[in-house]
């Protein structure tokens, strides 16, 4: 990073593209979000119209923050984002994504007057953000696990995100957690970690267990059960909810032991909505992980939770990509 460039252009833009909404903000080197906004992702069917709206929204917050002419670059976190090519590949959950490759970084850069744009998937962006601003500052080897609608991951080895030969390395949520009679995953496989330990996976566990037991639970009164409902019930001491989160933590810990075996990370960092239940997940994770680790790693691997402010985390993660442009 050129010092003169930082002085002249001390801000970056972070954009987090979700299936429903897109969050974007202006960020300084301390990780402070100076100004931010949100637009709908799902109200567009054409990527060019979407890019036009992103550029218009960015223009407003650039002016609000007084950062005209001081932007170093743009970082974008997106589903199926490819860091090598700057493309979004076959993102079925985005209305303008579909079964095609979209040169998103190129389109946005052209719309922003040639401003450089870096793009990767949302989990890798979260890893870079945590390494730049959060719990992984100073770490050279760690694994980022995002516990949201799905289970995403970003692997950092020797201070570098692992992208693999094609830009898509690190799909740890789609490693096999249950080998026989596992749940159907949205990816088409069965038994994936995501099918059990995502927010959707937790709600599936709740629905299944309610049919398998007569145990009293406040969850029985709900027509639709979310992972947040399970968490709220656990906070009230609901025994079934507590067992569901213990089961989820145990599955995560068993998977983490496998992950440690291939990269020997200093820590595993947890991020995302489901990570709010950390007081119920942490001990089952640690117990199951250490029970399944080789002795040379047992009780040596930390599990830590994101330190990024939740409302800013997605923007910060994406923005961190732009400092190296």
Number of domains composing the chain: 2
Identify the pLDDT of residue 2. 54
Does 16 share its domain with 149?
Answer: no
Does 289 share its domain with 193?
Answer: yes
Burial state string for 97-130 with b = 16 or more CB within 10 A and e = fewer than 16:
beeeebebbebbbebbeebebbbbbbbbbbbbbb
Q: What's the angle, vertex CA 154, arms to CA 28 and CA 97, rounded to 5?
A: 85
Identify the pLDDT of residue 67. 95
- Name the packing angle between helices 227-235 and 239-263 (round to 10°): 120
Identify the pLDDT of residue 99. 84
For 146, other C-beta atoms within 10 Å of its C-beta total 29
Whether residue 182 contacts residue 207, with contact meaning beta carbons closer than 8 Å, is answered with no
Does 151 share its domain with 299?
Answer: yes
Whether residue 59 contacts residue 74, with contact meaning beta carbons closer than 8 Å, is answered with no
Does 146 share its domain with 290?
Answer: yes
Does 185 share its domain with 296?
Answer: yes
| Alpha carbon separation from 187 to 121, 151, 170, 192, 248 (Å, rounded) | 16, 12, 15, 9, 20
* Spatial strand order in the sheet of 81-82: 81-82, 87-89, 101-102
Query: Residue 203 is encoded by which pair of tokens?
Result: 């709600």
Terminus-to-terminus CA distance in the chain, angstroms? Answer: 8
CATH number of the domain within which 82 lies: 3.30.420.40
Pair type for strands 87-89 and 81-82: antiparallel
Cα separation, 316 vs 166, whole angstroms:
25
Does 109 share its domain with 247?
Answer: no
Does 161 share its domain with 300?
Answer: yes
H/E segment holding residue 88: strand 87-89
Task: List CB contacts of 164: < 8 A, sequence separation 6 or more.
Answer: 170
Question: Of 248, 122, 232, 234, which Cα lies nearest the Cα of 197?
Answer: 248
Does 194 share its domain with 316?
Answer: no
Does 35 share its domain with 182?
Answer: no
Cα separation, 231 vs 213, whole angstroms:
19
- Alpha carbon 248 to chain centroid distance? 18
pTM: 0.90
Identify the pLDDT of residue 149. 87
Does 111 share its domain with 82?
Answer: yes
Question: Of 324, 283, 325, which Cα lies nearest the Cα of 303?
Answer: 283
Identify the pLDDT of residue 324. 86
Does 122 share its domain with 271?
Answer: no
Query: Residue 181 is encoded by which pair of tokens?
Result: 């009679």
Show the domain range for 222.
138-305
Cα separation, 298 vs 259, whole angstroms:
13
pLDDT digit of tens for each residue in the chain (325 aa)? 555 555 688 999 999 999 899 999 999 999 999 999 999 999 999 999 999 999 999 999 999 999 999 999 999 999 899 999 999 999 888 999 888 899 999 999 999 999 999 999 989 999 999 999 999 999 999 999 999 889 999 999 999 999 999 999 999 999 999 999 999 998 899 999 999 999 999 999 999 999 999 999 999 999 999 999 999 999 999 999 999 999 999 999 999 999 999 999 999 999 999 999 999 999 999 999 999 999 999 999 999 999 988 778 889 999 999 998 8
Whether residue 281 contacts residue 241, with contact meaning beta carbons closer than 8 Å, is answered with no
Does 160 share its domain with 296?
Answer: yes
Question: What are phi and psi for residue 270, nearest 5 degrees?
Answer: -105, 135
């Amino acid at each position: 990073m050129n010092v003169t460039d930082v002085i002249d252009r001390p801000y970056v833009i972070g954009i987090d593209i979700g299936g429903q909404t897109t969050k974007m903000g202006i960020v300084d080197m301390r990780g402070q979000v100076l100004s931010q906004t949100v637009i709908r992702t799902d109200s567009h069917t054409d990527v060019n119209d979407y890019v036009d709206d992103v550029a218009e929204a960015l223009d407003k917050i650039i002016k609000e923050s007084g950062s005209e002419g001081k932007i170093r670059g743009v970082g974008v976190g997106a589903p199926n984002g490819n860091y090598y090519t700057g493309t979004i590949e076959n993102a079925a959950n985005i209305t303008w994504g579909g079964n095609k490759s979209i040169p998103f970084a190129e389109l946005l850069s052209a719309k922003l007057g040639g401003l450089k744009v870096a793009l990767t998937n949302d989990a890798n962006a979260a890893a870079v953000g945590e390494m730049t601003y959060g719990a992984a500052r100073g770490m050279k080897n760690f694994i980022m696990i995002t516990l949201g609608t799905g289970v995403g991951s970003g692997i950092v080895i020797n201070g570098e995100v692992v992208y693999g030969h094609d830009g898509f390395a690190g799909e740890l949520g789609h490693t096999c957690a249950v080998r026989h009679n596992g749940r159907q995953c949205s990816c088409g496989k069965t038994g994936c970690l995501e099918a059990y330990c995502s927010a959707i996976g937790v709600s599936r566990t709740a629905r299944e267990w309610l049919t398998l037991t007569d145990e009293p639970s406040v969850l029985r009164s709900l027509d639709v059960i979310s992972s947040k409902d399970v968490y709220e019930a656990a906070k009230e001491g609901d025994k079934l909810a507590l067992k569901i989160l213990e089961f989820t933590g145990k599955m995560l810990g068993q998977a983490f032991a496998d992950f440690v075996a291939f990269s020997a990370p200093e820590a595993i960092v947890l991020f995302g909505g489901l990570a709010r239940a950390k007081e119920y997940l942490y001990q089952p994770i640690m117990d199951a992980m250490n029970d399944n680790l080789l002795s040379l790693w047992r009780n040596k691997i930390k599990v830590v939770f994101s330190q990024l402010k939740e409302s800013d985390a997605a923007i910060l993660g994406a923005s961190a990509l732009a400092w190296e442009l």
